[in-house]
Each structure stands twice: as structure tokens, then as C-alpha cells.
Structure 1
């Protein structure tokens, strides 16, 4: 078992990843020497360098840190990576990111957020409430908080808020005190093989909760009776069969005001200043965690009202009377459904154009019908080519696969350059860009077009 306090010099292979960089920041802020490799320089790696970390961008054994006492790598690193294999061949302690998070959950009071949707938002909301209220926590997030422009912050209080990633079964190593489970919809079938195998993994996640710990689970989850914990609390947006739900939801100025109802307590007139009705449900979870920890309700309300969101999670890039541009990380059909329906509800009557970049050939193949159904909710859709990430192309799997299945919606497939040429003459009052690939690199150029 790794002892976190004994790590004085650590090297990260894939340091620029959103999850890896949070852990790198943790060690850096706790006085360890931190270095690493990543394939490309980004604004995030540049920030890590300014914080004192040493980073290079070529897979070169001459550039690695031979004094490191622990090497951390991401599962996305290819098996033939020269630096990773050099460390293994020379007997270094080489661990996955999940092994470090496991050690942190063992050493701290751990709040982990898992599920195929909402975990980044709930993690960030929860950590923000704990920080804003003065309670304090160590936050390990899968997105950049707009409030703090960071995916990690530290505290002297030995409490950790951790986004629990189901990819590569990483979350099964965690041992939480409070565990959140938002959804068990099929995803990452390249890893799990079948939806049933993925459901089994989420059930196992709930079995890893520490004795006397608590599970916060979405009401109505499939196989909910198999979720293992004596202390299970259910939540729902509006279903009063759940232990916690919202009533009197009022959309106002691109956000919401609502009341939180629990069997033994209520909080009235909570103000959330970000869009997306699903974010009201996400806020219920964060509020519940804070209440379990004993944080005063007035402090909870003030923190929620101050929450400015997460980059690429229903992010208002442009928010004017007749020009709304929203960017979102949504890359699963159910995430797109929540995004599109919430945006159309907040801005009724406005023509809605969605620009979507599918992520992974395998996900596109497995979920093409779902993507087609949900994207058909928009008035107009532009599909970018599939972002491959770690995958090689699959025969017959392109963005056109989705387009052919769509109904009642104007749809076309365009390259990025063609999109930027097409957009000025075809702007809608409500524009949404979505996807987990590199579509966000177009955000500033699209913003300039919308604001012109």
C-alpha cells in the first residue's frame, strides 16, 4: 500500500490530463518535487510549469526523472511508451492514477462521485460549497472550476472530494465515506463489453463504502436493490418518492430558484446561477453532502448562489438577449438530451443549432441510435468528424452513421474549417457546441463569429 506522506519526488506520465494534473497539483502543493511528460503542450500544462513543475513533451528516456520514488501513469498511455517501460524495467514503483486516489481515500474522509453523467459538476459543486463555507476540503476534479480556474485545491482538513472515474474500472479502488452514484447508463463498452458488466462495476463501487458510510444514489436506478449499504439516501429532481427532491423550481435569468425537501429538513429559495435543469438535481446532491457534514444552511445557500459553474458544463460563452452560445462536454446521448432540452426550456422559441463532435469510434458505433434520437431534438445539427482519442478507425463508423439515422432535423457533416466558413451566414439565436474531443479549441473563434 502506498503511503502518500512518504512520496517526496513523483513523476507523471500523462501529466496534462485533467485528472492527472489535479493529483500533480496535490503533491506540488504539499512540498514534493513534481515532473512529468505529456504528448502536447496546453494551457493547463503551461499553468503547471508556472506552479513549479518540470514538464517535457517528447517520449525520451533521457528527459525523465531518474530520482523519482513514485511514477504515476494514466491508462490512456500506450503500452509501447518508452519512458513508462524504462521505469518498469528498472524496478521503479509504477502506479496508476487510481492507486494514488485509493491511498488518498484511505488516509482522508473521502467523498467520491461516480456515475456516467454529472460527476464533474457534482464534484465541483460539492467542493465549492465546502470551500466557500469555510469547511474546507482537498478537491480532485475532472473539470476546471470557473470560480477558481483550477481542478484542484487543498485544505488542512483531511477531507477529499474526488471525481470517481469508471473508465478502466479506476473507481473500484476507492474507499469512500460518502459515495454518490448518479447513473449507470451504458458507456465505455470497449472496456466493459456489456451494459450488464458495467452495472456490476457500479454495484461493486457501492460495496467499497467504508463501514457506517453513506450512499447518495439517484432514485430509480436500475438494480437499485443491489446497491450495497445500510445508509442509502436517494435523490431526484422532482420525484417525491425520493428522500431528497426539489419543489417550486422557478427559471429566472438563465438560472433557477428552488426549494430542497428532505424527510427531516428543508431549505427554501436556493438560487443557482447556472443553466440546465439537470444542474438543479446536481445541486441537490452537493447540498445533501454539505448537510450531512453539518454545514449551516445559510452558508450552503450562499455557496450555491456563488457557484459559477465548470468550464464546458453548460458554459455560457455568450449570453445576450438574442445571442446565446452554450458550450458543453456532453458526449453521451443522455447528456445531450439534458443539455438540449434544458437550453430549449430556458430559451423557448429560439431556433436551436447544435454542433456536435462524436467522441470515440466505439461509442459512436454502440450508441448511434441514441445520438440520432437526441440530436433530432434540435432544429439544426452540424456533425464534426469523430474524435478518435485512443482508438483506431472502425470500418463504416463515421459521423454520417448518426446523420443517416436522424429524423425531422436539418443535419450535415462538416470539417472544422468548413464549419467556421458556414457559421456566419447560418447563426441561430441559440447555438450549442458539444463533445469531449478537441471541439473546445474552436470556442474562441466561434465566440467571435457570434459576437460579430
Structure 2
């Protein structure tokens, strides 16, 4: 399919973080863009501000007449949309070009020099750092991101079309639509078992992804993963190594040993060894692409982070409030490590909203263990996203598994009051559901209290 010949792009699920990046891209390329989503959010508000028409009712009559011609309309949908969706079925039944988001991303990037970031954790932060590094090194790059970067206040970095940076998403095997020149795998922990059934099937899909790399392309893997490639790691024997690591004024200062040289005294502001690892692989890929070392070091020091990735909402000597997207036990462990490294002597309250009944069921014991590390734990109800409830799988069931006496279930309505009752000096909101929508109110309430 030649996207140049298509004038109208219709998005079903336009408010999704990956979908909205594509919507922004097509709008910037002078296409007519319209979309549906279930609920209004900050993302849909931002799209409307760009001049994109968005409606929130699944109704065929809400589709603009100009978009009812199969010849010049492309329909893009997310797998999170239910099979009963009226608009989606209308387009499918009437011979429209209907593609998943991942397929469209594959079409856009296939004729570019593509850098793809794969892994069960770290994709968004790594790809955001990588997009920023290339942008600051004056590369003609478009980066499609799974989060809103603080530097650009967007999930799209648009500087040119020669080079693309994408998240290679393992969900629904979406990353098998990509054909990258440079790719990395940050992690391969079991996840999305509702799709894969078992961890071995997930690992096999990562192997399939490596076969999608173009001839003469390169693969980077975190040291210890069961796939061959250029390795990277922290203070080990990898091809790219972060070493001589210090913390100065709340920031990492470190050296990077590459296969050819050492880049010294690099500064990076994001807390946590997981973020240091993300910065290292982004730097390694940019080095292999050909960016100048000193320019890269300067660019990395200016990276401000990604919203909902260890984002400071309040940061004073006495009190800290951090919001994070972590929704897998290993991600919660990474957040815990970062908090303990930065605030070793402070009590930490973690508020967690589990995401998906299936993930909660598959990793209940691991979630319980990771959450028990915090001084206090509050659980919200499970955010269902695309799923129906599973009998017996509830937040109350998960709470019983957490070996911590200082724990409770809480409703969104009672959340702020419950937080204010705590004496914790560090408060964390964690989860991939709609807990992010509560952050503004929590911040305002805690700012008054502190």
C-alpha cells in the first residue's frame, strides 16, 4: 500500500498513546485525520487542539461523509478495540483498507533507516532517549513513542523522514511487522500470557523479531539474555558498559566503554539502574548509527524524561510524590530500587492499580512480593482495559497475598484522604490504567498539606 495515495485516515481508538502518535504524524503530513475513542482524556484534548476531530460515541452516523469512500480512506485500529465495535465492523464489511496500528507503523518505517526498541520493559524510555539523542545530533528523524516526553511535550518527535525510531511492541506480536536496521532487546520477562499462553512462546516471538532485522543490520541485547548480539550492561564484561558510576546531586555521572573507546563523565538525570541501562543502550545505538560522542554526551545530559516514568510531581527536602507507569512485577522492583537508592532512609507509600485481570492472575505472587518491599501499600481495583473479569481475581485477593501489615484497599474517591493519613515521606502512584488521571488531584491535595 502506498500511503501517499491516501488522503483520509480514520482512527478507532485514537486516544491510545501509540495511536495518537500516528494521528499526529499524519496530521503533520497534511492528511485529513478523524477518530473515535471511548472516553475524553488529556491526549484526545491535545489532538482536538491540533484540529483533529474526535468523537466518543460508537456510531456509524458520526463518521464524516468524506471518510465513507473506501478508495481514499485508511482505517487504523488498535487490538484493544472489541470485536463488536460497530464502526470497525462497518469498515470491514464495506471493503475499506483496515490495518492495525503496528501494520501502519511498518509501512511508514519500511523505507527509512529504522531503529527499533524491543523488550518487555524499558521500550518507551529507551526509544524516547534515542529519539532525543538523534534529534540533538541533527539527524532527520521521526520517533514514534509510547509516552509523552518532557523535552517535546509530545509522543512524536518530528525532525525529518530519513530515519525512524519505533517501539517494537511484543503485545499481539506487533513487532513482527517491522524491518529495522538497528534493533535492541532490553528484556524478555514473561508478560502478555493472555496472548502467548506461556513464557516460551513469548521468547520464541523475540527470536522471530530478530529475523526481521534487515541484511547488514545490527542487534543489541542486554547482557544475559539468551539471544546473540552486541551486548550492553552495567559494570560487567559487555561490549558497551556503563562504569565508574557515581551519584552527584541526584544525577548519575558515569563513563561508557564502547568497543573502540571510552566516553567519560556522562551526566544523566533519571533515577534508577533500569533507567541507567535504558540510557546506555540508547547511547550505544546512537554511537553505532554514527553520532559524535561529545554531542551525544551533551544530548543525554539534557534529556528530561517521559511523563509517568518516575515523574516527580512534588520534590522537596521533606516530601516527594512520584508517578510511574510500572505495571509488571519487575517494573515495580525497578521503581523500588530507584526510590531506595535516592531516598534510603525514608518511608515509602506505594499506591498500585493492577492492570488486566489476566496479568494480575498470572503474576499474583510476584506482584505481592514486589509490593511488600514498600513500607505501606494501597491497592485500587483492577483496571480491566480490554478484558472481562476473571472469577476470584480481585484486588482483595491480591492484597491478601502481600506480606505487609500496613496495607489496605482503597477507592478512588477515598484515595487522597487515605494518602493524607499516612506519615510516609515518599508517595508513589503506580500502574498503567487510569490511575494517571488521579495524579493532578493528588498533587494539589498533597501540595496544600505539605
Give TM class, smaller chain. over 0.9
What do residues 416-451 of structure 1 show as CA deviations (whole Å, max 9, x unaligned)? 122222111214111111000011111112112322
Q: Which residues of structure 1 form unaligned runs of 5+? A: none
* Distance in 2 separating the partners of 1:415 and 1:49: 31
Alignment of 1:386-425 (within 5 A): 386-425=382-421
- Displacement after TM superposition at 1:245 (Å): 1.4
Could you tell me how far 1:401 is from its partner in structure 2? 2.4
User: Contact 1:369/1:405 (CA < 8 Å) preserved in 2?
Assistant: yes
2:318 is the counterpart of 1:322: yes
Task: Report if the CA contact (8 A) 2:11-2:19 is conserved.
Answer: yes
Does the 8 Å contact 2:270/2:276 carry over to 1? no
Q: Which residue of 1 aligns with 2:235?
A: 238
- 1:367-420 Cα offsets, whole Å, 9 max, x none, are 011111111111111111111111111111111222222224521111112222
Q: State how 1:208-219 maps to structure 2 within 5 Å.
A: 208-219=212-223
Q: Which residue of 1 aligns with 2:439?
A: 443
Q: Is the 2:6–2:73 contact (alpha carbons within 8 Å) kept by the matching residues of 1?
A: yes
Residue in structure 2 matched with residue 349 of structure 1 by the alignment? 345
What is the deviation of 1:204? 0.5
Are the counterparts in 2 of residues 379 and 409 from structure 1 also a CA contact under 8 Å? no
Q: Contact between 1:251 and 1:346, CA under 8 Å: does it hold in 2?
A: no
Residue 89 (1) aligns with residue 93 (2)? yes
TM-score scaled by length of structure 2: 0.96
Q: 1:408 to 1:92 in 2, by over 3 A?
A: closer
Q: Which residue of 2 aligns with 1:127?
A: 131
Residues 302-321 of structure 1: pairs in structure 2 closer than 5 A: 302-321=298-317
Q: Is the 8 A contact 1:323 1:450 kept in 2?
A: no
CA–CA distance in 1 between the matches of 2:409 and 2:218?
Answer: 46
Where structure 2 has 5 or more consecutive residues not aligned to the other structure, the ranges are: none
Structure 1 CA distance, aligned partners of 2:160 and 2:399? 51
Greater Cα offset, 26-35 or 326-335:
26-35
Aligned-partner Cα distance in 2 for 1:278–1:86: 44
Quick check: 317-326 or 423-432, which moved more? 423-432
Match of 2:147 in 1: 143
1:334 is aligned, of 330, 349, 353, to 330
Q: Is the 8 A contact 1:114 1:180 kept in 2?
A: yes
**Residue matched to 1:114:** 118
- Measure the CA separation in 2 of the matches of 1:133 and 1:427: 46
Distance 2:137 2:317 in 1: 33
State the distance in 2 between where 1:322 and 1:405 align: 32
Counterparts of 2:248 and 2:393 in 1: how far apart (Å)?
Answer: 42
Residue of structure 1 in register with 2:171 after alignment: 167
Show the counterpart of 1:66.
68
User: Structure 1 stretch 421-430 or stretch 134-143: which is displaced more?
Assistant: 421-430
Structure 1's 266 and 6: CA in aligned 2 closer, same or farther, altered over 3 A?
farther
Structure 2: distance between partners of 1:387 and 1:247: 40
C-alpha RMSD over aligned residues: 1.2
Q: What's the TM-score, normalizing by structure 1?
A: 0.96
Q: Say if 2:275 is the partner of 1:279.
A: yes
Q: Does 1:270 align with 2:266?
A: yes
Give the counterpart of 2:200 among 180, 196, 211: 196
TM-superposed deviation, 1:153: 2.3
CA deviations 1:36-57 (Å, max 9, x no partner) are 1111111211211221212111
Matched residue of 1:55: which SS? strand
Paired residue secondary structure (1:39):
coil
Conservation of the 8 A alpha-carbon contact between 1:255 and 1:273: yes
Equivalent in 178, 181, 186 of residue 182 of structure 2? 178
Query: Counterpart of 1:40?
Result: 39
Corresponding position of 1:249 = 245
Q: Deviations over 1:220-263 (max 9, x none)?
A: 01x32xx5xxxx21111222x21111111112233211111122
Report how far residue 5 of structure 1 moved: 2.4
Instruction: Please state whether the residue corresponding to 1:433 is helix, strand or coil.
Output: strand
**Distance in 1 of aligned mates of 2:269 and 2:130:** 15
